[in-house]
Amino acid sequence: ETEIYKVQISADVKKDDWIMGPSSMVAYSSSDGTNFKEIISKKIPVLTPQDSDKIYNYELTFYPIKTNYVKVLVKRTPVLPQWHPAKGAPAFLFVDEIEIF
- Residue 8 near residue 59 (C-beta atoms within 8 A): yes
- pTM for the model stands at 0.90
> pLDDT of 15-74, one tens digit each?
999 999 999 999 999 999 999 999 999 999 999 999 999 999 999 999 999 999 999 999
Is residue 75 predicted with pLDDT exceeding 90?
yes
Categorize the per-residue pLDDT at 96 as very low, low, confident or very high, splitting at 50, 70 and 90.
confident
Spatial distance between the Cα atoms of 62 and 22, rounded to a whole number of angstroms:
19
Spatial distance between the Cα atoms of 84 and 75, rounded to a whole number of angstroms:
19
Q: How many CB atoms lie within 10 A of CB 68?
A: 11
Is residue 5 predicted with pLDDT exceeding 90?
yes
- Structure letter (DSSP) for residue 21: -
For residue 60, give the nearest of 46, 38, 42, 77 by alpha carbon.
42
